[in-house]
Structure 1
């Protein structure tokens, strides 16, 4: 079974209804390692060697975070800047992550229809996540479609529960070698964001 590393970054987790439930739904899975970056590094002093060892020990890397200002919380950027070193993660000799997979698991305050070219945010989620996709490609990783929960400020408890079950099910597909099935299940979401 493949191992999944969730690089979790939420600077105000105590205020989150959705992300707490998503993490709770997957943290007990044997094949998942939840690395809470804000808890691990409250001073932003990231242990690069520890983080690189975690990456090497897992086949899938999930950047799980709220979607802040069309990107990630600052901790994810700090992590990328320090951990994904030239000559290790990318560059002519940087092959440590080659062949691994990466995806984003995000929550948005806005509803799905806001993330369309005709919506209030003017861009699709896929377009806004392009820097993450390019980071994965630069590191010779395969970027998979994101897991997204929209409208996190307004959704019901039942909808949160359904999203948590879906997150758990999708990660199980990845761990059992069904990345193609995972991507095909996410395709309708991506199509609806592009319409």
Structure 2
């Protein structure tokens, strides 16, 4: 059982892995930041094994954070099902987006992902047929819809076979980035993301 996450933490890590026992890298990423001041780790599969998400508790945590991290393995070119359900149930209209949905505006969203296939498999001549960036638009647009800034992802390809030294360096980078956000050289020039305007007729209320 993980220690209770700090719901008021300025950095919120949403860790999602359907079977942590089978995780070589994501588990180490999760565990490496449990003791970092100002970082709250919410293990979605531990909190919600029945998939019954407490949306209000999750909104409380998300509203207090300046950085929200999606930590998970890539599964079928997307996120694990409970992570997707979190988005579906927590990012409500007129809370996360829409005319009165400003709760996340101005925050940062960071994808930290691992893939089973090596980097060269994400290539027009590889078996995944596309460069990895081709699978990022759903993440980027989720951020844009909520007025969040989408940060350059941190990805470890071929996680099952990556050399131990590479895994250690990757985990160290993740911890260092969380400890120093938002003082990252590569995001100094990234502009804030204005929220996408969703007209009322496009999202009628029940």
The reply to whether TM is greater than 0.5 is yes
> What secondary structure, in the 3-state scheme, does the structure 1 residue paired with 2:84 have?
helix
Residue of structure 2 in register with 1:49 after alignment: 56
Residue of structure 2 in register with 1:8 after alignment: 15
Compare relative contact order (CA 8 Å, sep 6+) and give the higher one, 1 or 2.
1
- The residue correspondences of 1:90-109 to structure 2 (distance < 5 A) are 90-109=97-116
Task: State TM-score, norm by structure 1.
Answer: 0.88
1:117 and 1:100 map into 2 onto residues whose CA distance is 34
- Structure 1 or 2, whichever has the larger Rg, is 2
Q: In structure 2, which of residues 83, 90, 103 is the aligned counterpart of residue 83 of structure 1?
A: 90
Q: In structure 2, which of residues 40, 45, 49 is the aligned counterpart of residue 33 of structure 1?
A: 40
Q: Any gaps of 5 or more consecutive residues in structure 1?
A: 185-195
Residue of structure 2 in register with 1:21 after alignment: 28
Deviation at 1:182, TM superposition (A): 4.2
Residue of structure 1 in register with 2:69 after alignment: 62
Stretch deviating more after TM superposition (118-127 or 12-21): 118-127
Cα RMSD for the two superposed structures:
1.5
**Deviation string, structure 1 residues 16-43 (Cα, Å, up to 9, x no partner):** 1111111122121102110000000000
Q: Any gaps of 5 or more consecutive residues in structure 2?
A: 1-8, 189-206
Deviation at 1:170, TM superposition (A): 1.9
| 8 Å contact kept, 1:21–1:160 | no
**Deviation string, structure 1 residues 93-119 (Cα, Å, up to 9, x no partner):** 111100001011001011111123343
1:23 and 1:153 map into 2 onto residues whose CA distance is 16
Residue of structure 2 in register with 1:190 after alignment: none
3 and 13 in structure 1: CA distance in 2 versus 1, 3 angstrom threshold: same
1:44 and 1:109 map into 2 onto residues whose CA distance is 25
Q: In structure 1, which of residues 166, 172, 178 is the aligned counterpart of residue 183 of structure 2?
A: 178
Residue of structure 1 in register with 2:137 after alignment: 130
Task: State TM-score, norm by structure 2.
Answer: 0.83
Matched, 1:113 2:115: no
1:164 and 1:102 map into 2 onto residues whose CA distance is 19
By percentage of residues, which structure has more helix? Answer: 1
2:186 and 2:50 map into 1 onto residues whose CA distance is 36
Q: How many residues align?
A: 180
Deviation at 1:88, TM superposition (A): 0.4
